[in-house]
């Protein structure tokens, strides 16, 4: 005797590409994008994009929810504690955009070291004779400091080795090779020509890089942030750029997104990207797959690969 499996409703919260989700759904799964209130009320699984807020009020609208799958690892906009209180696991997808973000760090770093925005302007405006006024640097032989040595930090270190960079790193929770290891953030900053941030945002490290920390960085150093916008005090970073103490600033993330305009955006030695370094086509496909498979695992009574703690 055949057993009929009831339909399980998945809702997309935030923009989702159906073509990336459908291949991993079974016949008894139904995906709804832009759900109505009635569909939210009966949804058993939600696939949540990074910029979508899921708070207690949103959870109230989904009383049948059994799992919430977040695309990515950051849960700044998800009330994980409230979801847990209601017995709803929050699936996350670590590792799916590791390579993309790490490559994005080097896209910013190389652009700043090689002065690509400035040199583009020299050619574009027909000022070839000014090229000798621009100092172009190299990565080889320099030191890259990594604050946060999780998956992305480790991948950055691996790529750095290929550029013949010396690596220094700090993370109070991760295992770090002895040759890289620093005792604290300040040791990383003082030892490095370039610094990249890969640490979660917590109350303790809000404005981790502030006026005091910028002052201990090497004169002429470059700072890249593809982690969380609020790790850097932009006012202090702007002042350091203007004084020349900081030679370059690469930003993919911002305290508020989209950000309000800040004077640092107009500085010639700033490179900017709209939080897209981790959202390549390949990374997005891997992230969506992991989120969907994690949600299905929960619905099937299995443990998902990763959940927010």
Q: Mean pLDDT per segment of 10 residues, for the chain of length 309 residues?
A: 76 95 96 97 95 96 98 87 97 95 98 97 96 96 98 98 98 97 98 97 95 98 98 98 98 95 97 95 95 97 95
59 CA to centre of own chain: 25
Q: Which of 107, 113, 48 is nearest to 277 (CA)?
A: 107
**Residues 201, 181 within the same domain:** yes
Structure tokens at 6: 């009831």
146 located within any domain: yes
**275 contacts: CB under 8 Å, gap ≥ 6:** 252, 253, 254, 257
Is 257 assigned a catalytic role? yes
**Residues 19, 112 within the same domain:** no
**Residues 197, 227 within the same domain:** yes
* Domain CATH number, residue 84: 3.40.50.720
Structure tokens at 265: 């955006």
Residue with tokens 């005797």: 1
Query: In this predicted structure, what is the pLDDT of residue 1?
Result: 44
Q: CA–CA distance from 292 to each of 49, 59, 126, 266 (Å)?
A: 12, 19, 51, 40
Query: In this predicted structure, what is the pLDDT of residue 74?
Result: 77
Number of H helices, E strands in the chain: 11, 11
Is 275 assigned a catalytic role? yes
309 located within any domain: no
24 located within any domain: yes
**Residues 57, 147 within the same domain:** no
Query: Which of the residues 70, 108, 218, 228 is marked catalytic?
Result: 228
Query: In this predicted structure, what is the pLDDT of residue 4?
Result: 63
**Residues 253, 285 within the same domain:** no
**Residues 107, 215 within the same domain:** yes
**Residues 139, 190 within the same domain:** yes
193: enclosing H helix or E strand: none
Phi, psi of 81 (to 5 degrees): -65, -40
184 located within any domain: yes
3 located within any domain: no
292 located within any domain: yes
DSSP 82: H
Query: In this predicted structure, what is the pLDDT of residue 3?
Result: 57
Structure tokens at 157: 């270190």
Task: Please check whether residue 74 is in contact with residue 257, taking contact to mean a CB–CB distance below 8 angstroms.
Answer: no
Segments forming the whole domain that contains residue 51: 8-96+281-299
**Residues 241, 214 within the same domain:** yes
Total number of domains in the chain: 2
Query: Which of the residues 28, 206, 257, 302 is marked catalytic?
Result: 257
**Residues 89, 110 within the same domain:** no
**Residues 182, 236 within the same domain:** yes
Cα–Cα dist 32/66, whole Å: 16
Query: How many other C-beta atoms can be found within 10 angstroms of the C-beta atom of residue 118?
Result: 18
Query: Which of the residues 86, 275, 289, 293 is marked catalytic?
Result: 275
Query: In this predicted structure, what is the pLDDT of residue 75?
Result: 85
Q: Which of 71, 100, 76, 111 is nearest to 226 (CA)?
A: 100
Is 228 assigned a catalytic role? yes
**Residues 156, 202 within the same domain:** yes
306 located within any domain: no
**Residues 105, 155 within the same domain:** yes
């Amino acid at each position: 005797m055949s057993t009929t499996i009831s339909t399980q409703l998945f809702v997309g919260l935030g923009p989702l590409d159906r073509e990336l989700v459908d291949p991993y759904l079974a016949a008894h799964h139904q995906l709804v994008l832009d759900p109505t209130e009635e569909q939210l009320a009966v949804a058993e699984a939600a696939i949540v994009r990074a910029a979508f807020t899921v708070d207690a009020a949103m959870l109230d609208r989904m009383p049948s929810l059994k799992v919430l799958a977040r695309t990515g690892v950051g849960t700044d906009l998800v009330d994980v504690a409230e979801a847990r209180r209601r017995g709803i696991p929050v699936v996350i997808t670590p590792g799916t955009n590791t390579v993309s973000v790490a490559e994005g760090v080097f896209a910013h770093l190389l652009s700043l070291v090689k002065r690509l925005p400035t040199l583009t302007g020299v050619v574009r405006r027909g000022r070839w004779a000014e090229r000798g006024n621009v100092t172009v640097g190299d990565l080889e032989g320099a030191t890259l400091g990594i604050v946060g040595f999780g998956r992305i930090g480790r991948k950055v270190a691996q790529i750095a080795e290929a550029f013949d960079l010396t690596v220094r790193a700090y993370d109070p929770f991760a295992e770090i090779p002895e040759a890289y290891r620093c005792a604290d953030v300040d040791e990383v900053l003082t030892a490095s020509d370039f610094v990249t941030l890969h640490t979660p945002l917590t109350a303790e490290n809000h404005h981790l890089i502030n006026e005091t920390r910028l002052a201990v960085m090497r004169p002429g150093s470059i700072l890249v942030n593809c982690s969380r916008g609020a790790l850097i005090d932009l006012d202090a970073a702007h002042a350091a750029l203007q004084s020349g103490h900081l030679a370059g600033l690469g930003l993919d993330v911002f305290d508020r997104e989209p950000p309000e305009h800040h004077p640092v955006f107009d500085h010639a030695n700033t490179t900017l990207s709209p939080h897209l370094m981790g959202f390549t086509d390949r990374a997005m496909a891997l992230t969506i797959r992991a989120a969907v498979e994690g949600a299905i695992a929960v619905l099937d009574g299995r443990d998902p690969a990763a959940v927010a703690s």
